[in-house]
Amino acid sequence: MEATESMLTKPVWSSALKLMLFSLIGIIFFFVPIEINAKSTIPLDHMVSWLRAVSPKGVEIYALLMIIAGSVYPFITGSWNANTTQKVLSVLKVVGVITALMAFFSIGPAVLFEKDMLPFLFGKLVVPVGLIVPVGAIFLAFLIGFGLLELVGVLLQPVMRPIFKTPGKSAIDAVASFVGSYSIGLLITNRVYKSGQYSAKEAAIIGTGFCNLHGYRG
């Protein structure tokens, strides 16, 4: 009897330890602002900023290659004409490649190179998001893969569902967007949606609402 209880207790403690330890790593990287060089933001943002500082041209080339790969992939697999939506998106991806090439090589009408046009889109949106997604994906497993997402979902369901019509676990998306960036919130939302834990409606509410909180931090 005692041996059986010991066998049952060990997995419980092991799971609890994993939940606390690995989730803590995810919380630190996504939620805890740290000040470095007079800039206070989460460690993930600091990592992306460091990569951009070490090799500014390299990260731009990487982002450009990712855009090209993303536009070519549907045509290689044949999924570009699966339905009307895919056809439209595939055409827009090709347009995106042309636009990215113009921005990278500074080719095109002068009006497109005003500071709020292509330079802003490529330098402030494309490159950071292109880095945050792969780097963030590494640490995202710590945040949502060891039970923290489910725990938050249970605790905050009575708050999030009546007010925002979204699951309790969407509070993680909101906090990540607020203390980090919209792209981190979208990264989490996309991963949870693809795992089947958000409906399309819930993902749209979270992506268009919560993931824009970063701009309102004041």
Q: What is the pLDDT of residues 102-128, one digit of tens each?
A: 999 989 888 888 888 888 888 888 888
Phi-psi region of 78 (alpha: psi -120 to 50; beta: other; left: phi over 0): left
| Per-residue CA distances from 151 to 116, 156, 211 (Å) | 42, 9, 21
Per-residue pLDDT at 11: 67
pLDDT in tens, 44-66: 888 888 988 898 899 999 999 99
Has this prediction a pTM greater than 0.75? no
pLDDT digits 0-9 by tens, 2-25: 444 444 455 677 777 877 888 888
Q: How confident is the model at residue 212 (pLDDT cuts 50, 70, 90)?
A: low
Taking residues 201-212, what's their average pLDDT?
80
* Minimum mean pLDDT range among 2-6, 130-134, 135-139, 168-172: 2-6
The rounded mean pLDDT for the chain is 83
Structure tokens at 76: 């290689």
Q: Burial-class residue 26 by CB neighbours within 10 Å (0-12, 13-18, 19+).
A: buried
* Cα gap 197→212, rounded to integer Å: 21
